[in-house]
Amino acid sequence: MLTKTGTTFAFQDFLIDATPEILWFWCDSDDDYQGQVYALGYWKNNIVWFSGYYGSCSGCGAWGEGGEPTNLDEVLADSAVFRSTTLATQFIRKANEYFFNRAVEKGAFKSLDEHIRQTNKS
């Protein structure tokens, strides 16, 4: 699971603050002045794939200057939510293969699957 980095303008920190009810397993971005933020999470037995826009100035969607999501409803509005890992991975791979592969490389799906297995044992 992701934890806060404490770094100024870390996208995962914004997501963790906005949605303490979602367990986030991975977060990445286009790493440019503007683009997309992608994140993989788990919430109420569902897999959450967040894809939100960020800009580089307060008038164009900069996170930290009013462009970031601030609550669960706003995060879910920019997310696809799935009941199964199979459906989630099929969708994510098709929607953005590059970031799907980055999430796989970081072990995001493996960590998520392990969390789901542990949760279902309880």
7 domain residue, yes or no: no
Look at residue 58 and tell me whether its pLDDT is greater than 90.
Answer: no
Q: Would you state the structure tokens that stand for residue 35, as one six-digit string?
A: 């683009």
Spatial neighbors of 103 by CB under 8 A, at least 6 apart, are 26, 28, 38, 40, 92, 109
3 domain residue, yes or no: no
Q: Would you state the structure tokens that stand for residue 49, as one six-digit string?
A: 């794939």
52 domain residue, yes or no: yes
95 domain residue, yes or no: yes
90 domain residue, yes or no: yes
Taking the C-alpha atoms of residue 63 and residue 70, their distance in angstroms, rounded to an integer, is 10
Percent of the chain's residues with pLDDT above 90: 75
Write out pLDDT tens, residues 61-81.
Answer: 889 888 999 999 999 999 999
Look at residue 6 and tell me whether its pLDDT is greater than 80.
Answer: yes
**Domain, as residue range, for 34:** 12-121
2 domain residue, yes or no: no
6 domain residue, yes or no: no
C-beta of residue 122 within 8 angstroms of C-beta of residue 35: no
4 domain residue, yes or no: no
Look at residue 122 and tell me whether its pLDDT is greater than 80.
Answer: no
Tally of domains in the chain = 1
Is-above-0.75 flag for pTM? yes
